[in-house]
């Protein structure tokens, strides 16, 4: 009841903590997992709204929009947003792989392999130099 009350009050982080504890105590309880999922969705929505206010049009914002379009199978739109994100930040990890996935899903395996090759030279992330990684 506490977790649901917190979620209904918009205290999503606290609700998620309560639902995490509940799912740990009762891993077979679908209500705990459902509540945890709803809490995470609310947190994700709030994070995107904040990003939308503070960094609309950034490479990160464009990549998130593209990812949401991919989930909806709106491949043309996803392609547009991924290419715009790459235009703004060509050295951003994962964007070439994401674009390759668009190509694969639209039956352009040859183009997908080109994008995958573009990602390889980046190598593994260097967490000391790349804070976002």
User: Does residue 33 sit in the same domain as residue 62?
Assistant: no
User: Does residue 11 sit in the same domain as residue 39?
Assistant: yes
Q: Which domain holds residue 32?
A: 2-54
Q: SS3 of 56, please? A: coil
Widest distance between CA atoms in the chain: 53
Tens digit of pLDDT at every position of the chain (133 positions): 999 999 999 999 999 999 999 999 999 999 999 999 999 999 998 988 888 888 889 999 999 999 999 999 999 999 999 999 999 998 888 999 999 999 999 999 999 999 999 988 877 777 777 666 5
Task: Answer for the pair 62, 84: CB distance below 8 angstroms, yes or no.
Answer: yes
User: Does residue 35 sit in the same domain as residue 21?
Assistant: yes
Query: Considering the entire predicted model, what is its pTM?
Result: 0.69
131: in domain: no
User: Does residue 37 sit in the same domain as residue 79?
Assistant: no
- Chain centroid to Cα 54, Å, comes to 17
């Amino acid at each position: 009841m506490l977790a649901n009350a917190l979620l209904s009050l918009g205290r999503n982080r606290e609700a998620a903590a309560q639902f995490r504890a509940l799912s740990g105590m009762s891993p077979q309880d679908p209500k705990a997992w459902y509540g945890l999922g709803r809490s995470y969705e609310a947190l994700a929505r709030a994070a995107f709204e904040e990003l939308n206010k503070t960094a609309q049009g950034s490479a990160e914002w464009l990549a998130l929009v593209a990812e949401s379009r991919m989930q909806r199978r709106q491949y043309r739109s996803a392609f547009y947003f991924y290419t715009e994100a790459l235009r703004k930040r060509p050295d951003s990890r994962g964007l070439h792989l994401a674009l390759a996935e668009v190509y694969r899903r639209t039956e352009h395996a040859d183009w997908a392999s080109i994008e995958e090759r573009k990602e390889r030279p980046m190598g593994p992330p260097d967490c000391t130099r790349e804070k976002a990684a």
